[in-house]
Structure 1
Amino acid sequence: MRNVMAAFVALFALLVPALALGQNSLETVSVEDVADTGDTAWILVSSAFVLMMAMPGLTLFYGGLVRAKGFLAVLVQVGAIASVASVLWIMVGYTLAFGDVAGGWLGSGNAWMLLNLGNVRANTTIPESAFVLFQMCFALITPALMVGAWVDRARFGWVVGFCALWGLIVYAPVAHWVWGGGWLSTKFGTMDFAGGIVVHTTAGISALVVAMLLGKRAGFPKTLMMPHSPSLTMAGAALLWVGWFGFNGGSALAANDDAASAIINTHVAACVAALVWLVIEKFAVGKPTSVGFATGAIAGLATVTPAAGYIAPGAAMLFGALATVVCYPMIQIVKKRLEIDDSLDV
């Protein structure tokens, strides 16, 4: 009997998409509603790149920086955060961020559970489903960036619950304000090419606040807490570096000159930032380190993100240099003077 029921269920599952295709085939599709296959392919690949940034890129980068006892905790936290963020994005996150504009603060509920998606996303040449996928990868990696703020101090259930709420009450509204036609973009002309405000600023400020509220780990700052595996950190940084090509290049939402320019600027900013960080370390601690190289590169990548598609390579080099000049002393100030235990320097 179970086999018979399974057969009926399988047959129904096969018929449902066929019926849907049959209904769509009766509709008249205009030229403007046909997606560009090349642009679509690039966005799909970029989405995979951004997911790779979170898993395994971020897990290895953060996992190598923590003490050995916290390694598995970091891995499972990043994975769980990415999973719950993805589910919530499909259910309500996308419509809150990119639903129809209604007042400029939050998107309307027209696209909850991804209902009523268009054939092509407005002002692009890609299917709206591809746009949903790309933006979902942003939504899942952003809260995962904050993991360093609570290493060795927060319970797993609290971490997942906090990040779920954070995605709905912080990330989705800010994404709407800047990218979804909200008040920051319409009233103030705010431009954020790939997430300097939406991703890095929101995660960075939130991580700092959480670290302050949770307090220090036992022994901080007197006890030296060294990274347990710089090799893993380097491997994670390499994956993040490559994935950032999809993060920034994909934000052009097309396979065009803007995407290529964004990737060039992304790469050169990371190169300059990593090299400058090594120079600073040479004078500050006596020798350059692998963790310093990785940290400098990530600082450059994050700093150039909001402008990656708007500037020339020379400006990107300046962004990379300034990233290191600002970030290196700020880490010292936050940890040593303010004694805020932001474990992974988010």
Structure 2
Amino acid sequence: MEGAELGSDQERQIRVDEYGFERQAGTEAEELVSDYQAVLNRRAIKWRKLLQGSRLQRSLRVKRYIRKGIPNEYRSLVWMTVSGAQGQLEKNPVYYKKLLEMEEDPKLIESIRTDINRTFPDNIQFRSSANPCLQQPLFNVLLAYGNHNKTIGYCQGMNFVAGYLLIVTKDEEKSFWLLDSLIKNIVPGFYSPTMIGLKTDQEVLAHLVRMKVPAVAELMERHNVMWTLVVSRWFICLFIDILPVETVLRIWDCLFYEGSKITFRVALTLIKYHQASILEGNNFPAICEKFKQITHGPLVQDCHNFMKKIFTEPGRLPLTMITKLRERSRAQVDDQS
């Protein structure tokens, strides 16, 4: 899992992880990854037995296995199965190809191309000099989705999400159907022109913080810090470039199986665990800086323990409560529009 080293002058400082991201060598994070590999090896044996024979079915056992982490060699298969993306691909075997053959939309193409070179500059697979290079597959997935969903077309942030899907699946068509499943079923309205889903869920988080971490909620209100300023990137990019790659993938394992409630668990864990630090912020800029700081450090680098915490730190989050909060928050957002 340490990945390949770069050449000559940099080989002792920079390494490339198994996902293609450049990382500083010899850091505490790299040591954690090495320890985590042993955990993954044990999990892989159990997953191999689970996946033998019949197709993966939803069950408490599968839910428990997913919460403990999907080994990377099985991640694409499991995501495709539990999200329903595999079923959609099988029902529509030539649909993706047809989307790429549709008449060109110059505005859509221009907006996608603008972001392609900005996608993961620290990942060697997304550089134009790479062979193979993931820039063209990324463009294809985003173009296909834009043709598939004319209402959304392309929205900033989707390039990072689709990029992660390509890193995991190494397959354009699978990445397209996973992207469709995410946008349609897990984060609906996040990428719509009005971003109504994103605004609603930010309000839901604000309500949850008032319930679970009232001192932080009071601090935010006292200094007029809007939640959209500190968590919009968390939500729109589903924690990509916010948290370490392995931690994000573990979050997505649960997201595909359990739905968007996971995003609230992650956000609440970061806020509750770092409550004392956040409360040291005594003005608007300081509070914003605190929210940047809490996404770094040992808590999020140790993805295995972090994932344990997201299911304990925030306490109970029943779906009925989330649904009611969404209804109330949606009404608030509509009133503000």
Task: Answer whether TM exceeds 0.5 for this pair.
Answer: no
Of Structure 1 and Structure 2, the greater helix share is in 1
- For normalisation by structure 2, the TM-score amounts to 0.31
- For normalisation by structure 1, the TM-score amounts to 0.30
